[in-house]
Structure 1
């Protein structure tokens, strides 16, 4: 009911605003701003191209693992689309990444005690099999190097199940959710900063373990590694992080659905160990070790006014089509570019649109952009991938570059396809007034909330980390975290067309106002080296 009222109210406002546009001499005036917002709402709600764009990207091209053939195909498609929509300075900005990896086909099946196809997926960047590989399973849970000794001499010719099976899970919360006002109010809490100098080393050690495990299994003569998915419901994700040349996993690695994994465990515990067959056709590509960000612009009329920017990560994992993570954000950025371009009027500030690469491997694309354009941090250049990501967050001092002062606002989308409900202010109380002012035209669309808390894990984070105004929108969760995020259900079916229209309109409206406002978002202080939050902490060597 609330949605229907908001929809009718939106049409009434649009009609009223559009009725006065003929008397408006230029969109740069305050009244012109209202007319521009009205036109954005009208175009975005009545002639949206968001879902047809989504289908073209996800249904026709599909998943976009960083530096894969599909990712590059999607880049070319996006650049052509941006050109058709009238944007300029369309280009890619390469950054150091690692191997390409292309998955052509795979199958996993139980052979005995009965034939049964299993729900599984190869771990990204793990090696292919040399044709079908068949063998008995052995249940050998290993989570630390100290566990290796127990299994020496016992794994030759085996397919090794390395996860603890645990118990069947039961969901205690709704699979699909829209925020209530109370839910959003609970987000309005200041996030106390915590600095633990030991945490980075522990994260790196944990991430290195899978490579050490695979090397041990290979040395013992095992045929393959099998781990259990972290979601139930026959959901798999296939995340992998060993993409540096010479540092890939030593043997094929498979992720198995929880239900199938536990079935194998039960059979092995009550009789002869099952046999399974694995076949993976995958190709490494060393021809180009650089991934890319896609950049395009709507030029501003005042070259001294700086620029505003919107972005979303273009890469995805391989299990689904990368629709909600983060095709939804990418489509919203592309649709926002179309809506603003349709105005046919230059903003005061240049509006830059970026589709990031390498987000899933540690915000690598957005970090590369920062280092090229905005600021540097002293990180050992020999560190790669995730290790470099961890080191960068804790490296000081931060040294701004000349372009640092030119970026006036950045808006990011990366929480699925749920409708915008407002914006996270990231603890910057000084920014609340202006962000609220820019959101005001969209109160009628349900995006009227500001919360002080921070959000993490996506491409605005490193902008905030160097004191720049990068913001993420509050979004209805839908089924993003429960059964879509990184998983094989991440398809266009789990995107909501009405929400996508609303998000693109608000993204475009926020960009347009930020590009033309005489006011600028207040910046946070330039971060400096913190002291440990707990100076008396004693680390546990067993962790």
Structure 2
């Protein structure tokens, strides 16, 4: 055998698992693209509310990235549809303009009416009864009503309200007819949390009332100005609008095909959708998880990994409204669930992957992968904790799989003294979900953990052990628009 032939034979020899892991770690530590991808995702598309144009465009962008890195079977899979879409622009603002100037940190509900330009009006304290309403009725048109309670509404099918409650319902209904600009609420803290509902709304028919929630300190300052007796003027620009529906919504799917057992699958995932409050860009919830999944695919392919089982990367959507993307996936692929070895979900912010919890018999396989990750990042320890029951109610996409007995893992987000700890409650669904609070080193470690642990599970002698089988019931009717994209056979 010539030297050239010997060299060729050596180059074609399969790489050992240790060699692959070494390449993954080296590439991640010297050329990580995780933060770059997250910066591009958030700057190009901003927040990605389910049913928004931003989400649609980011789905296609993520597909392009997976294809560029060499993944196969890259596609969008429709999981359902919302009856109406909703887009929020970048030009929203809120402020007090008189008697002093003050910029507000605020939010307004998703799937709610915008202003079609700035609306300036007097701040009027919400009347408590008909007499107070009569005293200010001449000032109500175009005013922002400062609230200390939620409006009372009639509810179809509810018991007859008390006389006192009916008086409140009548009062609030009267206010609705007076041409007010909207209602202003105060948060209980310095955090303003965005939420909203798409249900029972269409482009042609939806509520047209407006509401905003401002920080506690902003509300305190507003009320203090009102107590002084001088006219108080507020101005809000709610740069938001409905989109015609129905809006079909997708999960993003990509693969590294298994070489020996391609029908057996390990899923690495995060959710691409986010809430869309003014100022937030969906960085930690869950741009981080989406980009660590993307980066783990890049690292595996760059290292030349050839997993025995298929590693499938999925970016769920509709997570924030009810885990719709993952729940629909389970329904549409129910016959394949016995072949899914594990589902990993990174959805706890911008701390590092500090381990997993599950059945005691799963530990040996997962520990092997964790040991390799900790060897690469010795100052970022990992742990495995045992969970007595198969089901989880954490509120992220692994719940959809654990509910039917497929091993799902919500990565245990952990901080460290060396690199710090992100306060996820400060970030979660608030105005602070920005790039400012993402910790770069943890993006590197999390991507490596996904890649190495996912590869370890994919190459194990057996699929992960499972909890004992149990009865479960799927609920296709609970997924909005599923029938329109996946008709029952």
TM-score (norm 1): 0.71
Superposition RMSD on alpha carbons, in Å? 3.0
Contact 2:84–2:198 (CA under 8 A) maintained in structure 1: no
Residues 134-164 of structure 1: per-residue CA shift (max 9 Å, x gap): 33334449xxxxx999998777534233356
Q: Matched residues in 2 for 1:240 and 1:525: separation? A: 38
1:385 maps to none
Native 8 Å contact 2:82 2:198 kept in 1: no
Pairing 1:439–2:427 present: no
Aligned with 1:161 (options 128, 146, 150): 146
Structure 1, residues 190-242: CA drift from partner, whole Å, max 9, x if none? xxxxxxxxxxxxxxxxxxxxxx999886356543122233541xx43432223
Q: Deviations over 1:21-49 (max 9, x none)?
A: x799424xxxx222222221122222211
Alpha carbons of structure 1 residues 496 and 130: separation in structure 2 relative to 1, 3 Å: closer
Matching residue of 1:41: 25
Residue 255 of structure 2 aligns with which residue?
A: 297
Q: 2:194 aligns with which of 238, 241, 248?
A: 238
| 8 A contact 1:125–1:249 mirrored in 2 | no
Provide the TM-score with structure 2 as the length reference: 0.78
What is the CA-CA distance between 1:452 and the residue it aligns to? 3.2
Cα gap change, 1:216 to 1:23, in 2 (>3 Å): farther
Aligned-residue offset at 1:455: 6.3
Q: 1:261 aligns with which of 205, 219, 238?
A: 219
Is the 8 Å Cα contact of residues 136 and 159 (structure 1) preserved in structure 2?
yes
Q: Would you say the 8 A contact 2:404–2:472 is kept in 1?
A: no
Paired residue for 2:87?
A: 102
The aligned residue for residue 72 of structure 1 is: 56
**Alpha-carbon spacing, 1:331–1:160, altered in 2? closer, same or farther (3 Å):** same
Structure-2 change in CA distance of 1:280 and 1:37 (3 Å) = same
Aligned pairs for 1:70-469 within 5 A: 70-94=54-78, 95-104=80-89, 105-140=91-126, 156-157=140-141, 158-163=143-148, 218-219=176-177, 221-232=179-190, 235-242=191-198, 244-246=200-202, 248-272=206-230, 274-303=232-261, 305-319=263-277, 320-374=280-334, 402-425=335-358, 428-444=359-375, 445=377, 446-452=380-386, 456-469=394-407
Pick the structure with greater CA Rg.
2
The SS at the match of 1:306 is strand
Distance 1:258 1:372, change over 3 A: same
Counterpart Cα distance in 2 of 1:162 and 1:361: 27
**Aligned mates of 1:92, 1:462 — CA distance in 2:** 19
3-state SS in 2 of match to 1:415: coil
**Shift in alpha-carbon separation, 1:269–1:347, aligned structure 2, 3 A:** same
User: Residue 326 of structure 1 aligns to a residue in which SS?
Assistant: helix
C-alpha distance in 2 between matches for 1:361 and 1:294: 17
| 1:474 matched residue in structure 2 | 412
- Structure 1 residue runs without a partner (length 5+): 1-21, 142-146, 166-211, 375-401, 531-543
